[in-house]
Structure 1
Amino acid sequence: MRSILSPCFTSSKMKAMFKLMLDCAERFTEYFQSLSVAEQTENQAIPQEMKETFTRYATDVVASTAFGVEVDSLNEPNNSFYLMGRRVTSFGFWKAMRFFMNILLPKVCAIFRIRFLDDETMSFFIGVVEETIKVREEKGIVRPDMIHLMMEARKGKPKVEEGAADDETSISHVDVKTPVNITNMDIAAQAMIFFFGGFETSSNLMSFLAYELAADSDVQSKLRTEIEDTWNECNGKLTYEALLKMKYLDMVISGI
């Protein structure tokens, strides 16, 4: 599975998925623009819980890039995908115990059917993946996300092409050669790993970033200038290449 997923992180694959992330970012921006209008209308500030807001944005990005579905968690706060995602990442004592038992004693957990996720949550995410795959196979839909990559892997296992290393990531491009047996459960499991890994980590990073920028006006001013300059150079249409050239943004994020 590792050899199949490694092509996801080449520059070419990230560039293809960048449009999906950009769509989520545009909705995120529009949400705050609507808040600004509402504040002017009501002549008072509307408080926002930023960690919650960033978590909803991260949900939309992971849902789009990993599960291949479009959700709008900011304007539809009670959508099923977001609520189920919160259940996955909300840890109580017994859930934490099941999590560590599955890591430390996987064979015992398999024998006694001790799962990290409850049946309802598992059924929901597996159902999302199966429905997405069914619709794409029936209608021939192609979308540059993780689901599509793993669907393609069913037809052939990625093999590294000699001398085709990616410039930005130093990961080789791949070609489809040997068929691989991948079930819908395998695809759902990998999508869940991406969701679990990106849901809280991304929102936490953005929360700390927002705090640090609010606390340091000089850094905030320099970063705003770089963003505005890049935005003007792109004529209001941000590109993957332009994002990679934003050195100060990279420095700020690396410093969190």
Structure 2
Amino acid sequence: MTSPVGERFSEFFDKWICQLDGYLQQLVRVSREGLSESEHQTLVSKLTAHYKEYYTVKWAAAHEDVLVFYCPVWLSKLENACSWLTGWKPSMIFGVVESMRRKSVAELTEEQVRKIEQLRVKIKLEEEKVEREMERQQVAMADRKVVELVRTARRIRNEELVVVVGNHQVEGLVEVALKGVLAGLERVMKAADCVRLKALKGVLDVLNPSQSLDFLAGICMLQIQIRKWGQNRDNQKGSNPIILGELHNNVIF
């Protein structure tokens, strides 16, 4: 059963992804028209603002119900399979940059290549930090206090409790423990989102406006195409498997 938060965010996401597709069409058109650097920068700013809107709405919704973002009903199975802690994995964007270089879409200077590599290493370390925090949250689910609460609640249900402890009291303790778990999951989600935004901004800071257009076009194209493939696969039975490792080669540019 979909929660009210999940329903509202599903509606928002459908509109947001349609707008993203519209921006992609603009990016493709502008990259072919040879507009001025200032016009390129204007479109880059519009698209980055669009991504910021997504995270603003996401964080507000997650504060009400963070669990819907760990099992999002608005995504296809393929999108969920590609997900990393409620979103795309930050280091994925370096594959897009490499695809740009390999297909000669953007010529990067040696200085740009050096900065991108430094950013890649930094983002990898931050990904690992967030993953360790997620592991800590998962382990905390089975700590001594939570296990004791589970045992107590079970004994009450089976009417085997000798010490008089009201069921209402136990439920209150469980609720407190659960709130702690949910707060931890929300922190992990926000930390992962911050790494995503940091990776995106870091690459854009290195690229010039024209290169940024090509880069953002690749990011948008990848996200939209994975969604289309996933939706098609969910609606069809017996379809051919998609090899995720070939996504960059087949989609980007």
TM-score by length of 1: 0.29
Tell me which protein shows more helix as a share of its residues.
2
Tell me which protein shows more strand as a share of its residues.
1
TM-score by length of 2: 0.30
Which structure has the larger Rg? 2
